Each structure stands twice: as C-alpha cells, then as structure tokens.
Amino acid sequence: MSETPPRNIRGQREPRATTTLFAFLHHLCAFTLVSALAIEFTLIRSELTLASARRLLMTDTVYGIAAGLPAGRRAVAGVLF
C-alpha cells in the first residue's frame, strides 16, 4: 500500500522530493541560526577590535540570511502554489 503525498495549503498534492528538500533546508537553516547565535555571543563577550567587529558583521549576515530563507520560501510558495 503506497502512501499519498502530503497536500499543500490549497489541497494540491506535493511531490515527496519537494517536501523532503524543504524539510532538509528548514533544519539546515535552524542549525545555522543556532550556530551563528553562539558565535555572536562568543564574539560579543570578547574585546571588540576591528577584526572581531568584521567577524561579527559576517556572522550577523549569515544569521540574517538563515533567518530569512524559510520566510522567503513560504512567501514564494504562497504566490506560486
């Protein structure tokens, strides 16, 4: 007996590969957020120098991208599907 693919918000069936891919990307973004937050916490606790400020800027950029990707995916999926 085969399982039917999950349905999206409009009741249409989604391919299983798409669901698996988005689940993987969701978890990847979540782990990236936690890692970036831990790195930022470590950098903020140390003395602020030009080099650590640059690292903090890069880490904050990664944090922002990882936070925005799932929301952007939901917005695009809402418009296209």
Q: Per-residue pLDDT tens for 39-53?
A: 999 999 999 999 999
Assign 26 a pLDDT band (cuts: 50, 70, 90).
confident
Contact 7, 14 (CB under 8 A): yes
* Dihedral-angle region of residue 59 (phi above 0 means left; psi in -120 to 50 means alpha; beta otherwise): alpha
**54 located within any domain:** yes
**3 located within any domain:** no
**64 located within any domain:** yes
Domain count, the chain: 1
**75 located within any domain:** yes
**1 located within any domain:** no
**69 located within any domain:** yes
